[in-house]
Structure 1
């Protein structure tokens, strides 16, 4: 396995800059996840690492080797795609063995490597079957086993679970995480699903518009987002965003709510400054404490999920969501008071950067 380093990597298609000056280091054995909305450049960046597309500027290093201009086949990377890309006329064994057969390995070596990889992904009993007889999850395991037998320095995975149903995605998430631990491999995984990123990654790379917004552990990004974009993208349901203006004496004038006194936050900011307050739905509760945010809301939809009750309302014509613990006896159209402690509130400036957190 090896360390991956990107130095000022850019990719342009004519006048369109798909990747803009990305510098990033992924350590040996790390599970890194690229996450962001559709069109943010995460799959493009993965293709640049794989060598499937040439970069416009910058450098890519795998271990001590500069692979910037090397063809894909010489980079010691293995890629698993969203589509399984299996040969339907071949057995599972032959699909897994294909890259070794292309290298003209000895038959005994091929059999040993295929059986070892199949055992790793729990496909030992299906080696004689063709892909048509397999479930979606099993087909994806074949694609992963085919990558394993190459013994690459780096595994690259481009939304490998997006074609699976919800229950199977959860199962495969766990299996991929365990596979990473078993192999001790350097893995780079692309997804638009921030839940996958949060549950699988050692570190998350948040991309937006071809740029890196923030790199950090899942909990770093959750608790300390660098800006409004990261705060709103990481977390489910998304963070509530409320327009506000700083008043004197540590208070805020919050649109649609009124004056909210949060001395520790307010004293960090100049009077009259326009800001956005970010509050996670799960940090709101009906047990309102002093020294934080409090609002009276009118639910227009209540989702009772058993372990949680999700309340949807509007404040200043913005969506406002609360996730309350337990099965709450709430009904649509019945006003409730919710609040959040000040130390869980994020403040973003007019450009979207984080400026304060109590």
Structure 2
């Protein structure tokens, strides 16, 4: 058993509240990703779970046992750091074996465990090399193998791919996902990259300003972001936002007026909204299509056009805010020439004056 439970966990540094009353449950065998902007508290939370820093308030339990007051070495965890933390004078074998050697395990047992871990991370032929002879991705695999031999209840990973180039990060994302599937272990992974979170996580924990904004599977957060912060953070390119005013909210529809769009009737319950309320409309760039084929129609003037082959990204400006549209393929668009775009009413998100989502999508 390696489930993780945080109950009312807070961390303060003097007058600064780095984490505020975080309560969270991560199931045995789950791959959970903490994501958020720099300074949101995600790495601080990981350090509290690891026992590297003491909590100011609250409780941490692993496998049903309270570990709040235990030191890092007394917790059933293994941590993989951003900077690999390898010993340069040691071989790959000795780097992987180091935790077992410190526990004075029998040499035959150490050899067997190192061989097994090296095979899992595809380094069996590099065991006698020094870290200086390895690529960045291979060094990270050594750090992961060193964690594997400890057979921890929980793997903790603090931005382990941030030092790698884009192509290698993509490869390592796939390898870590496969590793999790093979080991079946609980993994808690910290990143500022929402693409990593979306592609790797069973559940994402979005943090902002030391607080948990939302927890859920990747596509739940994508389709039903709890608030404006999550909506703007999850998704690439990020969601577009337009200011609007409710004209009517009756039964299963809400009518909203917004600049350029005019008055549109959207298919969701308006029980939490009233005529005259200020709202924000959210539109995913990829939900837009060229032409007037959908319910909500308006025009934009591209300020820049990015042609990526598979996709074309249009950057424009709406009400002083950036506005982005993403189209498949290579449509013939030019900066400065107005285009007509449209989107299904069901794809338009509506957030109230407090930034809370009010147009929830039922099927995800």
User: Which residue of structure 2 lines up, in the alignment, with residue 233 of structure 1?
Assistant: 233
Q: Indicate yes or no: 2:361 matched with 1:339.
A: no
Q: Indicate yes or no: 2:270 matched with 1:262.
A: no
The answer to whether the 8 A contact 1:204-1:218 is kept is yes
What displacement does 1:82 show? 0.4
The answer to whether the 8 A contact 1:345-1:357 is kept is no
What displacement does 1:97 show? 0.4
User: Which residue of structure 2 lines up, in the alignment, with residue 273 of structure 1?
Assistant: 277
Q: Which of 258, 263, 286 is residue 282 of structure 1 equivalent to?
A: 286
Tell me the SS of whatever aligns to 1:343: helix
Q: CA-to-partner distance for each residue in 1:23-58, whole Å, 9 max, x for gaps? A: 000000000000000000000000000000000011
Q: CA-to-partner distance for each residue in 1:37-91, whole Å, 9 max, x for gaps? A: 0000000000000000000011000002100000110001000000010000000
The answer to whether the 8 A contact 1:251-1:259 is kept is no
Provide the TM-score with structure 2 as the length reference: 0.95
> Hey, what's the Cα distance between the residues in 2 that align with 1:260 and 1:305?
34
> Hey, what's the Cα distance between the residues in 2 that align with 1:263 and 1:55?
46
The answer to whether the 8 A contact 1:343-1:357 is kept is no
Aligned pairs for 1:69-84 (under 5 A) are: 69-84=69-84
The answer to whether the 8 A contact 2:31-2:189 is kept is yes
Label 1:57 to 1:329 Cα distance change in 2 as closer, same or farther (>3 A): same
Aligned pairs for 1:242-261 (under 5 A) are: 242-248=242-248, 250-255=254-259, 257-261=260-264
The answer to whether the 8 A contact 2:43-2:158 is kept is yes
Tell me the SS of whatever aligns to 1:89: coil
Tell me the SS of whatever aligns to 2:354: coil
What displacement does 1:110 show? 0.5
User: Any gaps of 5 or more consecutive residues in structure 1?
Assistant: none
> Hey, what's the Cα distance between the residues in 1 that align with 2:57 and 2:38?
23
User: Which residue of structure 2 lines up, in the alignment, with residue 314 of structure 1?
Assistant: 317
What displacement does 1:265 show? 4.5
The answer to whether the 8 A contact 1:252-1:266 is kept is no
> Hey, what's the Cα distance between the residues in 1 that align with 2:21 and 2:200?
26
Q: Which stretch shows the higher mean deviation, 241-250 or 110-119?
A: 241-250
The answer to whether the 8 A contact 2:256-2:265 is kept is yes
Q: Which of 287, 298, 307 is residue 301 of structure 2 equivalent to?
A: 298
> Hey, what's the Cα distance between the residues in 2 that align with 1:78 and 1:58?
22
What displacement does 1:266 show? 8.2
Tell me the SS of whatever aligns to 1:11: strand
Tell me the SS of whatever aligns to 1:190: strand
Tell me the SS of whatever aligns to 1:198: helix
User: Which residue of structure 2 lines up, in the alignment, with residue 134 of structure 1?
Assistant: 134
Label 1:313 to 1:209 Cα distance change in 2 as closer, same or farther (>3 A): same
> Hey, what's the Cα distance between the residues in 2 that align with 1:261 and 1:220?
25
> Hey, what's the Cα distance between the residues in 2 that align with 1:321 and 1:199?
22
What displacement does 1:258 show? 4.7
> Hey, what's the Cα distance between the residues in 2 that align with 1:141 and 1:226?
36
User: Which residue of structure 2 lines up, in the alignment, with residue 350 of structure 1?
Assistant: 353
Aligned pairs for 1:7-46 (under 5 A) are: 7-46=7-46
What displacement does 1:196 show? 0.2
> Hey, what's the Cα distance between the residues in 2 that align with 1:142 and 1:248?
60
Q: What is the number of equivalent residue pairs in this alignment?
A: 356
RMSD value, Cα:
1.3
Q: CA-to-partner distance for each residue in 1:164-185, whole Å, 9 max, x for gaps? A: 0000000000000000001001
Q: Indicate yes or no: 2:135 matched with 1:122.
A: no
User: Which residue of structure 2 lines up, in the alignment, with residue 215 of structure 1?
Assistant: 215
The answer to whether the 8 A contact 1:205-1:215 is kept is yes
User: Any gaps of 5 or more consecutive residues in structure 2?
Assistant: none
